[in-house]
């Protein structure tokens, strides 16, 4: 007789990560009053299996990487306050320590898109007779 066992820790850590993401988004919007941290969007949260650490990935609306890394330092400094606030709403024995990471993905995607557009424009300049074919495929 074989038993089908599902990984119980996986679903639990995902649920906790989702809860942390929702609650941190709320805390950052309404509780954290630091001008160095603009409009923060919590992109993703991962939680270690033993619930000791939580990695928080965030972006800043309309800001560059320099502001993002400054915000990362500020959020790291506020991690204790944010963790104790989380402890009041999480239904866990321990609250994971928070590690903040500025996520450059949207910024890099925008840069890559711009480079692609520039390359296509340059290609059109070099081969103007192909112009009609390019617009049909867009």
pLDDT for 80: 95
- Cβ-Cβ contacts under 8 Å for 40 (sequence gap 6 or more): 28, 29, 58, 59, 60, 71, 75
Q: Is 17 part of any domain? A: yes
Q: Is 3 part of any domain? A: no
The mean pLDDT of 64-87, rounded to a whole number, is 92
Q: Is 92 part of any domain? A: yes
20 and 57 housed in the same domain: yes
43 and 17 housed in the same domain: yes
47 and 72 housed in the same domain: yes
Q: How confident is the model at residue 131 (pLDDT cuts 50, 70, 90)?
A: low
138 and 128 housed in the same domain: yes
Report the percentage of the chain scoring pLDDT > 90.
43
pLDDT reading at 132 higher than 60: no
The mean pLDDT of 109-123, rounded to a whole number, is 83
The mean pLDDT of 31-45, rounded to a whole number, is 88
**Residue in this structure with the two tokens 């066992």, named with its chain if needed:** 5
Number of residues that make up the chain: 138
Q: Is 2 part of any domain? A: no
97: domain range?
8-103
* Separation CA 69–CA 60 (nearest Å): 10
The mean pLDDT of 29-51, rounded to a whole number, is 89
Q: Is 119 part of any domain? A: yes
- Chain-centroid distance of CA 4 in Å reads 34
Q: How confident is the model at residue 5 (pLDDT cuts 50, 70, 90)?
A: very low
Higher-confidence residue of 108 and 89: namely: 89
134 and 79 housed in the same domain: no
127 and 96 housed in the same domain: no
Domain count, the chain: 2
pLDDT for 138: 53
Which tokens sit at 42?
Answer: 């919590």
92 and 111 housed in the same domain: no
Beta bridge partners of 44: 57
Q: Is 20 part of any domain? A: yes
Q: How confident is the model at residue 1 (pLDDT cuts 50, 70, 90)?
A: very low
pLDDT reading at 7 higher than 70: no
């Amino acid at each position: 007789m074989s038993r089908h066992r599902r990984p119980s820790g996986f679903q639990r850590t995902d649920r906790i990560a989702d809860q942390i993401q929702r609650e941190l988004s709320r805390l950052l919007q309404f509780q954290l009053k630091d001008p160095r941290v603009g409009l923060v969007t919590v992109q993703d949260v991962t939680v270690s299996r033993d619930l000791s650490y939580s990695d928080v990935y965030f972006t800043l609306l309309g800001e560059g990487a320099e502001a993002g890394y400054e915000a990362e330092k500020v959020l790291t400094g506020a991690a204790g306050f944010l963790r104790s606030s989380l402890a009041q709403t999480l239904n866990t024995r321990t609250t994971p320590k928070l590690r903040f990471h500025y996520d450059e993905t949207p910024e890099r995607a925008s840069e890559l898109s711009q480079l692609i557009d520039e390359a296509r424009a340059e290609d059109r300049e070099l081969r103007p007779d192909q112009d009609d074919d390019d617009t049909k495929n867009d």
